[in-house]
Amino acid sequence: MKAPEFENCQVGLNTNGQIFQSSAGFASWVGKKPDEVKGLCLRELLVSLEPSWETILPQFFERAPFECFLPIGGGMEISSMGLAFVFCKYDDLGIASISTALAPHDTLKKAFMGDLMNNPQALASTLIRLQKAESRLSDYISNFPGIFFTQRPDLTFSYLSKGIKTLFPMEHNEFYRNSGLFKDKILEIDRDHFEKELSLHGGKRETFSFSYRFQIPPTNQIIYVLDIRTPIITGTNKLLGYDGVFIDITRQAIAEHRLSNSVWREGLTTLTNGLVHDFSNLMAGIFSISELYFGMMEKDDPMANGMKQIKKSTMQAQKLVRRIIDLHRDKPAARASHDLRDLIKDQMDLIGILLPRSTKLNIRFGKSPLVAFIEETGFRQVILNLIINAKDAIGKNGQIKIVAKSISKGKPILKGFGNTTMFAKAKGTEISIQDNGSGIPEDLTDKIFDPFFTTKETDSGSGFGLYNCKLFVEDHNGEIGFTSKAGKGSTFYIFLPLE
C-alpha cells in the first residue's frame, strides 16, 4: 500500500468503533470522500488496506486507550516506515490520531533501509529523529551532575564532558595529551588504590566502580569522586580504554563523616563517662586527704602551701575532665541563654593545654554580660576550633588575642571581611580571635569554609573545623568571617545575636 500524504490526521469514533468524523486527508488516503467513511468501522477499514495490521490492531481497541506502530511496506523485509496510531478514550467517543513515523528503535535496527534514500519523507523523519536524539543527549550530558569520559589505557582522554572545566579550569585541555596529569590530580595516598582497581577489573567486560579523592589546585581542596567505568575490550582481549563517568560524592562523604563522628562520640562518651567516674573517685580521695592534713597544719607550716596546692589541683583536674566530656556529648544540649564570657573563660583550662607555653594569650571581655541564646556544647567546640587554627598558624613566640564585645543593631560587624561593610541585623555579641601567625594566602580565601579544605597535611587535618564553625554560626542566625594578610596573621570574627 502507498504511504499517506498527510503528516497527521484525526478520526472521531463512537463507542462501537465506527467513524463519525474524519479529516479530508484520511478519507483521500483510503480512497473515499469524507461523507463516505462515516459509519464505517475504523479497524475493518484499516485491515482492508493492509491485512497484516489485523494482528496489530486488536478487536474492540476503542474500549480503552491504545497505541501501536503500523508498518507500511511489502515483501519479506521489515518496514522502516509506518504509522504511529494513538487512540484516546473519552466518555462516549474517542479520537484516533494517525501520523507518519519511522519504526520504533528496536524494529528500525532490523528494518530494510535500502529505499530510505528514495523516500524524502522517511529521510526527513530520520534526520529529525537524529537531531532530537542528539539534542536530548547533549542536554542530558550538560545537566547531569557528573563528568562523562572516554579514557585511553595510558590515562589520557579522547573525550571529557564540560564538567571537567569546573574542576580544572586551567588544565582541562592537558588531560587529552598528558598521560601523567590525571594520576597526579588523584590524592597521593589514593593512587595505589586507583591502580589496583584498574588492574583488578581492566581485563573484564564488566562495569565497575570505586571512589577516590581529587586534589584541586590552587587551593588543594579535596573532592571525593565516584568513578564508574566500563572497559572497552576487543575480541582478542586487548584493552582499548574505558567509557565512564565521574560523579562528585563530596556531600555523601560529608554525611558519612558526620555519621561516623556521631558513632565515635557515642563510644567516646561511654568510655570517658566510665573513666571520669573512676578518676573522680581517685581525685575525691586525694582531695579529702589533702583537706584533712591542710586543716591540721599550722599556718606557718612549711608543708601548708604544698598541701594547699595539691587540694587546688585535684579540684581543677576534676573540672577539666568534666569539660572534656561536655565536648563529646552524644546529643547537643538544648539552647539556653548563656553569658559568652563565662563559656570562653571555662575553656581556658583546655586552651592552656593546647597552646605552647611561649604563646602570649590576651583576653578582653569587658565588664557587662554578653548574653546569647545558643547551644552550649557547639559554641565550646567553635571556640576550640578557632584557637587550634590560630595555634597552628603562630610560631614559638606567637600571640593570640580574644576579644568579645557588645554590638548594637545597625553597627558595623566583621570589619574588613568581604567587599562590602556588614551591619548587625540585631543587637548581639562579636567575638574576634586574632593571631600573629603566617596568615592566609589570598588565593585560598574563597575556600576557607569549604568542607575537606585544609592547608595541613592530609593526616593532620580533616578540613572540617571551620566548616563546622560556619554551620554552627549560621544555625544561630549569626555571621562568621575573617581578615588576613600573608605573613602578618589572621583575625576570625563571630557575630551572634542576643536572644
Q: Could you tell me which residue, 360 or 109, shows the higher pLDDT?
A: 360
Please give the sequence-ordered ranges of beta strands (E in DSSP) within 17-111, or none if there are none.
Answer: 19-22, 66-71, 81-89, 94-102
Report the pLDDT averaged over residues 371-383: 86
- What integer pLDDT is reported at residue 452 of this predicted model? 65
Q: Determine contact, residues 68/56, Cβ cutoff 8 Å.
A: yes
pLDDT at 75 over 60: no
- What integer pLDDT is reported at residue 76 of this predicted model? 43
Q: Measured between alpha carbons, how far is 371 from 378 in angstroms, rounded to an integer?
A: 16
- What integer pLDDT is reported at residue 116 of this predicted model? 55
- What integer pLDDT is reported at residue 109 of this predicted model? 60
Report the pLDDT averaged over residues 299-307: 80
- Report the DSSP beta bridge partners of residue 1: none
In degrees, to the nearest 5, what angle opens at C-alpha 130 toward C-alphas 126 and 135?
150
Q: Determine contact, residues 373/499, Cβ cutoff 8 Å.
A: yes
Structure confidence at residue 299 as a pLDDT band (50, 70, 90):
confident
- What integer pLDDT is reported at residue 144 of this predicted model? 74
Q: Measured between alpha carbons, how far is 60 from 211 in angstroms, rounded to an integer?
A: 55
Q: What percent of the chain shows pLDDT beyond 70?
A: 81
Q: Could you tell me which residue, 38 or 378, shows the higher pLDDT?
A: 38
Residues 6+ apart with CB under 8 A from 119: 3, 81
Residue showing cell 479529516: 23
User: 185-241 pLDDT, tens per residue?
Assistant: 998 889 999 999 998 887 788 999 999 989 887 777 788 999 999 999 988 888 999
- What integer pLDDT is reported at residue 443 of this predicted model? 76
Pairing of strands 428-435, 399-407: antiparallel
Q: What is the mean pLDDT of the chain?
A: 82
User: 440-465 pLDDT, tens per residue?
Assistant: 888 778 778 877 677 665 555 556 67
Q: Which of 6-15, 106-115, 183-192, 435-444 has the lowest mean pLDDT?
A: 106-115
Closest C-alpha to 99, from 23, 170, 159, 47: 23
Q: What percent of the chain shows pLDDT beyond 90?
A: 31
pLDDT at 315 over 50: yes
Report the pLDDT averaged over residues 163-182: 90
Q: How many CA atoms lie within 13 A of 287 on its CB side?
A: 13
User: 247-298 pLDDT, tens per residue?
Assistant: 988 888 777 666 666 555 555 565 666 666 677 677 778 878 888 888 888 8
Kindly give the residue spans of alpha helices, DSSP state H, lying in 38-114: 42-49, 105-108
Q: Could you tell me which residue, 328 or 296, shows the higher pLDDT?
A: 296
- What integer pLDDT is reported at residue 271 of this predicted model? 60
